[in-house]
Structure 1
Amino acid sequence: MIKRLGKPSKLMLLMLALVLVFVAGCQAIGGVDLNAVLKNSLKVTSSESKQTVAFKLELDETAFDDLTDEEIAIYKLLSNIELQLNDVKMEDSSNVSFNGKLVLGGAASIGFSMKMNEKQAIVEIEGAKQPFAFDMTGTVLTELAGISPAAGTPAANDESLTALGHALIDTIGGYAIDNLPNPEKIEVKPTTETINGESTALMQVHTEMDGKAIWAWVKKYVDALVADKAGLEKMIKGVVEVLSSDPDVWETLGTVNPFEESGELDAPTPDELIQQGIDEAVAMLEELQAELKAMETEDPESIDMLLGDNLTVTADVYVDTKLDIRKQAFELSYTLPTEEEEELALFPIKGFTVTSTSELWNVNEAVKADEVIVPETAVELEQLLELNSYRFMKMFKDDSAVYDILKNKLHLNQQSVSFYTDSYYNPPIVVQGGITLVPLRSTADAFSGVITYDPKSKGIQLFDEPTGTTIELKIGSDKVLVNGVSATWSFPVTSVGGTAYVPARSLSNTLKAKLAWSDLFDEKILTIEREV
């Protein structure tokens, strides 16, 4: 139900919430009712927009000496990430489309697009050989988890649920939003900004806070919530009244209205349940208030480290005459403490910055998202979950940016399998002459191989996709065919408890892999690995 109550696009929610937490206050500023702005933002059911979110790490290259080349490459790749969303069309909470670009390391650029409705979503990624399709009803995930979907649950009415969501926002906002204190540094002024290419008269709300101001603001907010017991009681009673006004809500949720008279002996009355909820909410807020005070007394160092001068937040929100947000810019910057603590001395990150910008237009007006068309070639979710890392990498073209990252940065082309001598399940076996045998199927599975078995002839065929090698073996024989060419392995294929074991070195050489023994305490470990 939450999904359908009418909200901004999911990718905006986090940044939007952070921004508005700092700009909303209990009093209007410069003629702008900031609380009304916050409530309006939660009631956006349709819009067009474009958004950019960027994440940058400040790296300490003096700590690179203790890292491998692969680890350094990963840090540099993730040190500069930018997500661009363009042509975002939100028709309603279920029907959304957009295209965008993901830039990694300031260089590798990956284009993509997404279209979704209440039933399905289709994602296309630049360089992918096929599009990806996802079930949006939850049916596939519940089936994969072995859960039977509930039968007989009525479909929700979008309009009624949206209206219900707006009523809940107004009811809850009277307590949770109206008690928000003003930041110390906040200013409002008229300005003109370009929105979707058009010059638009707006009110700019600017605020900035450091960590200490954020901590003071949080304490002040909690204090205000605790003090407003009358507002809390009014909110809880209002929520119950709103939910009870639409009996279809409880039916949609598949449960009964707990605030109706049940008729059971000694069952709590609706008024008693409401009072119980109020008492529990008051106790929770008072406990939170006490914990914040205790933290200041018992662990001020941690507060200073996390919420000190090294954390800064700035936000600019641009509001139109209808009190709708039309543009916003947000920046959060954090610098790690400089104390010479051992756990930080080898950490190659000195700090990070998160920025977000967005523009919105056609807010709560008629917007049509692009139609979802799932081609027959689309890869479904259940198919994706069955892929190992190598097969997932091969879903992208060899000359694509995604393939380059997966292979040369994340090294998904590296395959390995380890066998433990003390394991009760398929351990390696050392036979006379010092030859080590390993389970064929376990090795093949780790290396993306496909095995077929003929129980009549006891013949086994292994097809190794990465190398294009076909190996034909037979239980009890040391003779094999490799791509049709006869070869002799160092030990016959042996069945142990129904599992086919083969000589490790012979198999490794054929699959162009290396094997090595290592020690873990008193246990020996055999590892077979390769890069394809």
Structure 2
Amino acid sequence: MMKRLKLGLAVMLSLLLVLLAGCQAVGGVDVSKAALSTLDVKSSMSKQTLSLQLVPTDGKLTEEDQKAIDLLNSFSVTIDQAAVKDMNNASMEGSVQLQGKKLPFHLAMDKKALTLSVEGMTQPISVPLELEDLDLGFVGQNMTNESLIQMYKDVLGFLLKHTPNPSSISVTPVTEKVNGESLSLQKLHIDIRGDELVGLAKGFLTSVSKDKEGVKQLISNLYDTYYPIFAAYAGAPEETAAPDNAEKEKNINEAVNELMGALDELLPDYDKNVDGLFQEAPELSEILGKNTVLSLDFMLDSKLNIRKQNMDLTVQLPASEDLPIKQVKVHSEAETWKVNEPVTVHAVDSSKGIWEVNPGEATPGEVLRHLDRQSELYRLLKDDMNITSKSFSMYTEEDASELYDAGFEPVVVNNTMMVPLKYVADELDAKLVWDNATKQITLTDDLTGSKIVLKMGSKLASIDGVNETLAQPVQNMDGYAYVPMRFITKALGAQGNWDRNEQTVTIVRN
């Protein structure tokens, strides 16, 4: 997984060069070779800064909008040291700045896990990375690092061949300091405006449409790697044998002809369709206008390795009453050294143990329980980012645009709004345990740890041992337990609201 992440970062950087610098040599610098050389970097040290700025609209802002803009404008990331030892091992140390507060972090990755420690955590968090059956979308489980790199090079080489240069691109010799050392470098400077993108895309597609042999070669190179995906999506059994050479050639030719046919249909009406798109969505003329600008500086050494880079991105947003900002600006600077030299990675301190969690499984309560309540991180996540906030709606009448299964719709019983217990519990991250022998249900509140006990067919419930009487007994509806809305929302620290006109139940936890 780590090698995929490392290669993915290299590929993104290469694609950036491809799409923004085009394929032609500039000022004696072979841009194509520079782009592809990023895939040959096996190890390196680097540092980077990243900051964000939201430019508010000219009108008066609400207090809430101003607070949100100020919060995001105070955000920045500093990576003091990032070390990539090889395809499987890396570490990163730095800090996140927010509202004048500094949150140091330390991240490390190997074949087995990604481990992250942020100041304020009682234990570092560890996320397993051994998800081989998910690697590259079920592809190439036996692929080597070398074959992966070659696959990316095949794709990038094809893109390089057909991508035109933007209007503003230049190369000049410079002397720059990288990690304190003065180096003689070539600066590749690129400016690209939003109103150029449509033309660049057309130039790329036009060039591809004239290179049938190149398209066939690319598909041929990728065919063996991606055949398992094609077969899986086609519904073929896993044991289906790979096609013989004749069948392979037929499949490749069909794919090439389909792609070239699509381009032949698209290009004659390209300008007309783009104009139609801008008429239907006039806000695109702002986003893809002259005020949206990406400015890049890549400082290259004699081996065409990127040793220093600066990026300034401004995205112009359309005027809207619902949007309190008119521009988003991002600034980044980075330096790289020890390229393909021995590098040492730094492990995260796990002397106090590790909190192991699978991606997406940590609840807000679990996160907060692994933080020091006096730390800035706890305050940030709980008070500023409101990670405990939840809001969801349920509809008593089926809408034509929605389909609801049993256990998702609220029901009125004897003037009492009843809601599906499991659905509400899942939305509020409460743990539910069903005892089939006693027909008893126990809920554990994610934030407080409170125990709520109910029983099918009974009006008697308890919260942390204190009995309460329900307006209606717990009921079985289509195999799902339903309980009074007022009781369960209050028990789980939320508020429920029934809108009779809209036939909607809304549950909110602040």
Letter in 2 for 1:356: S
The answer to whether the aligner puts 1:23 opposite 2:16 as a matched pair is: no
Amino acid aligned to 2:42: T
Give yes or no for the alignment of 1:408 onto 2:383: yes
Aligned to 2:57: 60
Aligned counterpart for 1:121 among listed residues 96, 111, 114: 114
Give the number of the structure whose alpha-carbon radius of gyration is greater: 1
Residue 34 of structure 1 aligns with an amino acid whose one-letter code is V
Is contact 1:47-1:360 (8 Å) kept? yes
Judging changes above 3 Å, is the alpha-carbon distance between structure 1 residues 139 and 156 closer, same or farther for their aligned structure 2 residues?
closer
Q: In the alignment, residue 188 of structure 2 is paired with which amino acid?
A: V
Measured after TM superposition, the shift of residue 206 of structure 1 is 1.5
Q: Contact 2:168/2:191 (CA < 8 Å) preserved in 1? A: yes
Q: 1:355 to 1:453 in 2, by over 3 A?
A: closer
CA distance in structure 1 between the partners assigned to 2:256 and 2:499 by the alignment:
61
Deviation digits for residues 311-354 of structure 1, max 9, x if unmatched? Answer: 2221111111111111111222122345xxxxx23321201122
Match of 1:264 in 2: none
1:322 is aligned to: 303
What is the rounded CA distance, in whole Å, between the counterparts of 1:385 and 1:241 in structure 2? 33
Give the counterpart letter for 2:194 in structure 1: G
For 1:32, which of 29, 33, 47 is the aligned residue? 29
Quick one: distance in 1 between partners of 2:425 and 2:108?
Answer: 37
Equivalent-residue separation in structure 2 for 1:407 and 1:74 (angstroms): 15
Aligned residue for 1:89, secondary structure, equals strand
Q: Are 1:225 and 2:218 an aligned pair?
A: no
Q: Report the Cα distance in structure 1 between the residues aligned to 2:286 and 2:507, rounded to whole angstroms.
A: 45
Give the aligned partner of residue 135 of structure 1. Answer: 128
Q: Pick one of 153, 159, 162 that aligns with 1:176.
A: 159
CA contact under 8 A between 1:420 and 1:428: conserved in structure 2? no
2:105 is matched by which residue type in structure 1?
A: F
* 2:273 alignment partner in structure 1: 295
The aligned counterpart of 1:86 is: 80
**1:165/1:310 Cα in 2 relative to 1: closer, same or farther (>3 Å)?**
same
Kept after mapping to 1: 8 A contact 2:411/2:418 = yes
What is the alpha-carbon distance in structure 1 between the residues aligned to residue 450 and residue 58 of structure 2?
Answer: 43
For 1:284 and 1:79, locate their aligned partners in 2 and report how far apart those are by CA, in whole Å.
44
Q: Which residue of 2 aligns with 1:48?
A: 45
Q: What amino acid maps onto 2:293 in structure 1? A: T
Q: Deviations over 1:29-78 (max 9, x none)?
A: 3332222111112332222212233332212263634xx83x65444433
The alignment status of 1:215 with 2:193, answered yes or no, reads no
Cα deviation for residue 407 of structure 1 reads: 2.2
| Residue 362 of structure 1: how far off its partner (Å) | 1.9
Pair 1:90–1:429, CA change in 2 (3 A) = same
In structure 2, what is the equivalent of residue 247 of structure 1?
none
- Size of the aligned set, in residue pairs, is 486
SS in 2 for 1:345: coil
Q: Offset of 1:419 from its aligned partner?
A: 6.8
C-alpha displacement at 1:363, in angstroms? 1.8
Whether the aligned pair in 2 keeps the contact of 1:310 and 1:337 (CA below 8 Å) is: no
Unaligned runs of at least 5 residues, structure 2:
227-237, 399-405
CA distance in 1, matches of 2:181, 2:432: 62
Say which of 305, 321, 329 aligns to 1:353.
329
* Deviation per residue, 1:127-151 (Å, 9 max, x gap): 2233222222216979xxxx9x99x
CA deviation after TM superposition for structure 1 residue 203, in Å: 1.0
Give me the TM-score of the superposition, normalised by structure 2. Answer: 0.76
Task: Output the CA distance in 1 between the equivalents of 2:490 and 2:158.
Answer: 70
Contact 1:232 1:278 in 2 (8 A): yes
Alignment of structure 1 residues 297-446 onto 2, 5 Å:
298-299=276-277, 304-337=285-318, 344-371=320-347, 377-382=353-358, 385-414=360-389, 425=407, 427=410, 430-431=413-414
Q: Please give the secondary structure, in 2, of the residue aligned with 1:128.
A: coil
CA distance in 1, matches of 2:317, 2:427: 40
Q: Distance in 2 between matches of 1:275 and 1:530?
A: 56
Q: Is the 8 A contact 2:297 2:310 kept in 1?
A: yes
**Displacement of 1:479:** 7.1
Change (3 A) 1:515 1:255: closer
Q: 1:130 to 1:429 in 2, by over 3 A?
A: farther
Deviations 1:499-526 (Å, cap 9, x if unpaired)? Answer: 77776656777777655432243x363x
Evaluate the alpha carbon distance shift between residue 289 and residue 54 of structure 1 in structure 2; reply closer, same or farther with a 3 A threshold: farther
The 8 Å contact of residues 174 and 235 in structure 1, kept in 2 or not, is answered as no
Aligned-partner SS, 2:182: strand
- For the residues of structure 2 that align with 1:449 and 1:195, how far apart are their CA atoms? 51
Structure 1: where are the runs of 5+ without partners? 245-252, 262-266, 339-343
CA distance in 2, matches of 1:133, 1:520: 48
2:336 maps to a residue whose letter is L
Contact 2:15 2:156 in 1 (8 A): no
Residues of 1 paired with 2:277 and 2:416: CA distance? 59
1:97 and 2:91 matched: yes
**Residue in 1 aligned with 2:172?**
189
Partners in 2 of 1:448 and 1:234 — Cα distance? 51
CA distance in 2: counterparts of 1:243 and 1:471, whole angstroms: 52
Give the C-alpha shift of residue 13 in structure 1: 4.8
Cα distance in 1 between the residues matched to 2:419 and 2:494: 14
Cα distance in structure 2, aligned partners of 1:233 and 1:451: 55
Distance in 2 between the 1:214 and 1:77 partners? Answer: 32
RMSD over aligned Cα atoms: 4.5
Q: Post-superposition shift, 1:482?
A: 6.2
Over 3 Å counting, the alpha-carbon distance change for 1:286 and 1:477 in structure 2 is: closer
CA positional deviation for 1:84: 2.8
